[in-house]
């Protein structure tokens, strides 16, 4: 049977996720060390687990309202105001979604008309461009370079905007580089976004994970930006809730009214027990000054410092990450591409790390390492990687 005639040409043309092929191979390898998944190695804090269990025991197993359980929406608004100075109406400016990924897909379907361009700051997470394509849009690349600390510069942004640009899509703290944009750096690009009258799509799911005294600043908090920004956030990274799939998106009610239609027809509502868990974790954070989050951040920072030094000791160039839980070193000095390095590291040393090119063409010479793993796993992985680097450099001479 000819199935091709039944399938979407746009979907068939898309490449599968560039990071999943490594995970599939690693799963079949005994003694393989994975440093590839962006997932906390912490268990969801007890307050969230207990709240979810109680909700189910109390028979709360039905749908919530489409845009999410109201107590959670109120606490999300309280959280965003407390942490980042943002103000949203829980009634009509917040939608609780099945992770941030659903929120991104919903918004793309909401704003894109055929042929609209979405300017995506790369390197970036693998799902951004496909979400644009599936909505009928055209992804355009805005390259962020190591020499600029992987931030969006005013010069590159100005060059990247065309008459077809509908929005700038950015993620800070950044996956895969760990870059953070300061308030001053955001203030340098906000006037350009406003001048060209485009939207800003800001993925801020790593907002809690910053280091070295830095704190996250949302571009939506800057003058003139709230009214043109979709803020994406969730509980997966900062609250160790990846498997619960609870995210959210916030924007002015005029845009959220339309986004709600996509969410309603695609999802109905986010998982009820997960919403109760997320709400309990916010209330616990308010009562304890974010003690659980701070504990996780301190542990990530310890691993960050160890891995950064280990990479430098190997003789690799590496931007020092200031947020999220990733390293994005260049392996150019070994004489091979990031893709070949990742494949050989897996096959020869049994360490699973995705190639940087999975996150955009600008990652050609890079690999992405997650330090959201147990310390002994990070140490063993770094030791094996150092062996590989040494061998490659020796063969290069």
DSSP state of 221: G
Distance CA 180, CA 321 (A): 8
Whether residue 84 contacts residue 78, with contact meaning beta carbons closer than 8 Å, is answered with no
Judgement on whether residues 12 and 66 belong to the same structural domain of the protein: no
Which structural domain, as residue segments, surrounds residue 374? 4-43+292-396
Last residue of a domain, one of 272, 288, 304: 288
Judgement on whether residues 85 and 227 belong to the same structural domain of the protein: yes
Judgement on whether residues 26 and 103 belong to the same structural domain of the protein: no
Residues 6+ apart with CB under 8 A from 190: 219, 222, 223, 224, 225
Distance CA 325, CA 113 (A): 35
Q: What is the CATH number of the domain that holds 247?
A: 3.40.640.10
Judgement on whether residues 277 and 385 belong to the same structural domain of the protein: no
Neighbours of 268 (CB within 10 A): 11
pTM of the model: 0.96
Which pLDDT score is estimated for 385?
98
Structure tokens at 40: 């906390």
Judgement on whether residues 321 and 261 belong to the same structural domain of the protein: no
According to DSSP, the β-strands at 138-143 and 369-370 are: unpaired
What H or E segment, with its residue span, contains residue 286? Answer: helix 272-288
Judgement on whether residues 97 and 55 belong to the same structural domain of the protein: yes
Judgement on whether residues 279 and 296 belong to the same structural domain of the protein: no
Judgement on whether residues 66 and 207 belong to the same structural domain of the protein: yes
Number of H helices, E strands in the chain: 13, 11
The dihedral sign for the CA sequence 218, 318, 146, 327 = negative
Judgement on whether residues 136 and 245 belong to the same structural domain of the protein: yes
Judgement on whether residues 353 and 229 belong to the same structural domain of the protein: no
Strand partners, 140: 119
Q: What is the CATH number of the domain that holds 12?
A: 3.90.1150.10
DSSP 309-370: HHHHHTT-B-----BTTEE--B-GGGTS-HHHHHHHHHHHH-EE--BGGGG-GGGTTBB-EE
What are the backbone angles phi and psi of residue 326, rounded to the nearest 5°? Answer: -130, 150
Strand partners, 121: 142
Q: Please tell me the total count of domains within the chain.
A: 2
DSSP state of 45: P
Angle between helices 338-349 and 20-27 (to 10 degrees): 10
Last residue of a domain, one of 267, 288, 309: 288
Query: pLDDT digit of tens for each residue in the chain (397 aa)?
Result: 889 889 988 888 888 776 777 777 777 788 899 999 999 999 999 999 999 999 999 999 999 999 999 999 999 999 999 999 999 999 999 999 999 999 999 999 999 999 999 999 999 999 999 999 999 999 999 999 999 999 999 999 999 999 999 999 999 999 999 999 999 999 999 999 999 999 999 999 999 999 999 999 999 999 999 999 999 999 999 999 999 999 999 999 999 999 999 999 999 999 999 999 999 999 999 999 999 999 999 999 999 999 999 999 999 999 999 999 999 999 999 999 999 999 999 999 999 999 999 999 989 999 999 999 999 999 999 999 999 999 999 887 6
Distance CA 45, CA 19 (A): 28
Nearest 5°: CA angle at 200, between 194 and 205?
A: 145
Judgement on whether residues 62 and 123 belong to the same structural domain of the protein: yes
The model's pLDDT over 98-109, given as tens digits with 9 standing for 90+, comes to 999 999 999 999
Judgement on whether residues 75 and 209 belong to the same structural domain of the protein: yes
Last residue of a domain, one of 234, 267, 288: 288
């Amino acid at each position: 049977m000819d199935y091709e005639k039944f399938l979407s040409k746009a979907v068939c043309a898309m490449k599968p996720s560039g990071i999943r092929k490594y995970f599939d191979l690693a799963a079949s390898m005994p003694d393989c060390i994975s440093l590839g998944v962006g997932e906390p190695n912490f268990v969801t804090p007890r307050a969230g687990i207990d709240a979810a269990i109680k909700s189910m025991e109390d028979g709360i197993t039905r749908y919530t309202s489409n845009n999410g359980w109201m107590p959670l929406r109120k606490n999300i608004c309280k959280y965003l105001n407390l942490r980042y100075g943002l103000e949203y109406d829980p009634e009509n400016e917040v939608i609780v979604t099945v992770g941030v990924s659903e929120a991104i897909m919903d918004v793309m379907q909401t704003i894109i008309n055929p042929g609209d361009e979405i300017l995506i700051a790369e390197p970036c997470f693998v799902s951004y461009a496909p979400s644009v394509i599936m909505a009928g849009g055209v992804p355009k690349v805005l390259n962020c370079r190591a020499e600029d600390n992987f931030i969006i510069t005013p010069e590159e942004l100005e060059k990247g905007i065309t008459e077809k640009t509908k929005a700038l899509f950015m993620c800070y703290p950044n996956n895969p580089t760990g870059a953070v944009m300061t308030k001053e750096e955001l203030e340098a690009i906000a006037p350009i976004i406003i001048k060209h009258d485009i939207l800003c799509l800001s993925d801020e799911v790593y907002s809690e994970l910053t280091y070295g005294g830095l704190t996250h600043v949302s571009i939506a908090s800057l003058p003139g930006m709230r009214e043109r920004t979709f803020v994406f956030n969730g509980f997966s990274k900062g609250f160790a809730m990846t498997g619960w799939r609870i995210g959210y998106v916030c924007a002015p009610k005029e845009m959220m009214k339309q986004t709600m239609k996509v969410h309603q027809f695609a999802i109905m509502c986010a998982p009820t027990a997960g919403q109760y868990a997320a709400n309990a974790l916010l209330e616990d954070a308010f009562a304890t000054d974010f003690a659980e989050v701070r504990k996780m951040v301190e542990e990530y920072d310890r691993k960050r410092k160890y891995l950064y030094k280990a990479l430098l000791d190997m003789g690799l160039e590496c931007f020092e990450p200031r947020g999220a839980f990733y390293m994005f070193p260049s392996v150019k000095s070994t004489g091979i591409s990031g893709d070949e390095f990742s494949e050989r590291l897996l096959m020869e040393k049994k360490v699973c790390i995705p190639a940087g090119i999975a996150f955009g063409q600008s990652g050609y010479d890079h690999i992405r390492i997650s330090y959201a793993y147990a310390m002994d796993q990070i140490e063993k992985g770094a030791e094996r990687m150092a062996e590989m680097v040494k061998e490659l450099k020796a063969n290069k001479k």
